[in-house]
Amino acid sequence: MPRNKLRPPAEKIVLPKGFRAGGVHCGIKKRGLDLALVASDEPASVAGVFTKSTVVGAPVELSRDRLPRRTGRGVVVNSGISNVGMGARGRRAAASMARSAAQTLGCDEEDVLVASTGVIGEPLPIEKIRAALPRLAESLTPERLDRAARAILTTDTVPKWAEARTRIDGRWVRVAGIAKGSGMIEPNMATMLSFLFTDAAVSPRTLHAALREVADETYNRLTIDGEGSTSDTVLLFANGCAGNPPLRTSRSAGTRRFTRALHEVAEDLVRQLARDGEGATTLVTVNVSGAKNPEEADRAARRIANSLLVKTAIFGRDPNWGRILQTIGAGRVKLDAEKTEVRLCGVPVYKGGRSTGPAARKKAAKGLSEPEVAIDVRLGAGRSSARMFTCDLTTDYVRINAEYTT
């Protein structure tokens, strides 16, 4: 079961109008890019969603505190050290990082947000970051969002970006985004960072509503290992440079189109994250339908997506419907065994209270050798459904996480 090599989605990615980005090596990591900056030429509406953990990193505290302003000029992100668990010293470091970036951009310190990702419990080498920022600010260009995408990585094997465009009131608007995070990823925001940029004009309130809606259907449907992080952050900047009349209500046709484009980018990123989960060989989409109510649909889908036994079975290309039913049952989800159906890669393997036999099993096993697989479960207990994105659990996952800090 060799790891299928992932490739970045394209050579490079151009930002929406009025944004510039860059990434440099400042020396937190031994090698590779480790400091990213993305800036808007104009003040932009900003929306964010963060980890729901009761233990959060200093960068999350700072960005969350600044977001009620709902406008901003940019975001500075480092990888290598997460700036978590460092108390007052960590808070000073996060503030200093934002201040230095604001100075190089010539904007208000409050207009810069920050994020950090990497090991927990080590001090951020803030002098290295400050020393590198002028060089980074000078290198910013509208054409290299990919450099920022590379500079935020930790254990990811490939950078991730995605884009979409749509027409709003006669103007083309673009949405582009990057993301990182291949471990410590669970349903409610993960050690996952994602930054989204659009040249659409959107009021802060409408932007926030669109982000919440999309995050609930995409980022919050992703699980690699059932672990939420102290640093999960998704930020969305909208600078209005596309020139559309500003979107001010959630119900307008323009906002719906914008939200669809945002959803497209976010789902694309989430699929890239799942596929590049630590040690993963397979992107798994879980669809549960026929649940008694939305809570049970959600619980069943999350249990399947987080089940070590299901995830190791996928790794082993084993069409093991027993483990799927077992984990649903252990989650105390109501199902009607006679009406329940399990499909793997479109092949029914359990139906009418029993296995559909060895031929179906063989066909399903073949489907499981593809790099993307689908688990579809109909419970026959009601009309609710839910979806999750995840990956398989492999010996490499354990190896990566047993050796991370040593």
Asked if 70 is part of the footprint of a second copy (rule: CB under 8 A), the reply reads no
Q: DSSP character for 14? A: P
Listed residue (66, 62, 53, 47) closest to 124, CA to CA? 62
Report yes or no: 268 and 225 within 8 Å, Cβ to Cβ: no
89 vs 103: CA distance, rounded Å = 21
Asked if 326 is part of the footprint of a second copy (rule: CB under 8 A), the reply reads yes
Minimum separation from the CB atom of position 350 to a second copy (A)? 7
Report the residue number, 116 or 306, with the smaller CB distance to a second copy: 306
Query: Site for a second copy (CB under 8 A): how many residues?
Result: 66
Listed residue (302, 288, 320, 312) closest to 386, CA to CA? 288
Listed residue (117, 27, 26) closest to 80, CA to CA? 117
Report the residue number, 237 or 321, with the smaller CB distance to a second copy: 321
Window 328-367: residues binding a second copy (CB under 8 A): 328-330, 332-335, 337-338, 350, 353-355
Residues 325, 327, 330, 333, CA torsion sign: negative
Minimum separation from the CB atom of position 291 to a second copy (A)? 12
Minimum separation from the CB atom of position 284 to a second copy (A)? 14
Q: Which two tokens stand for residue 304?
A: 């399947």
Binding flags for a second copy, 160-199, as an x/- string (CB under 8 A): -----------------------xx-x-x-----------
Phi-psi region of 262 (alpha: psi -120 to 50; beta: other; left: phi over 0): alpha
191 is catalytic: yes
Report yes or no: 226 and 310 within 8 Å, Cβ to Cβ: no
37 vs 97: CA distance, rounded Å = 11
Q: Give how far Cα 127 sits from Cα of 26, 111, 280, 398, Å.
A: 10, 21, 36, 34
Q: Which of 33, 77, 84, 291 binds a second copy (CB under 8 A)?
A: 84
Minimum separation from the CB atom of position 65 to a second copy (A)? 17
Q: Which of 225, 264, 267, 341 binds a second copy (CB under 8 A)?
A: 225
Catalytic residues: 191
Binding site residues, a second copy, CB under 8 A = 1, 51-56, 84-87, 119-121, 183-184, 186, 188, 225-230, 306-309, 312-313, 315-318, 320-323, 325-330, 332-335, 337-338, 350, 353-355, 393-395, 397-399, 401-406
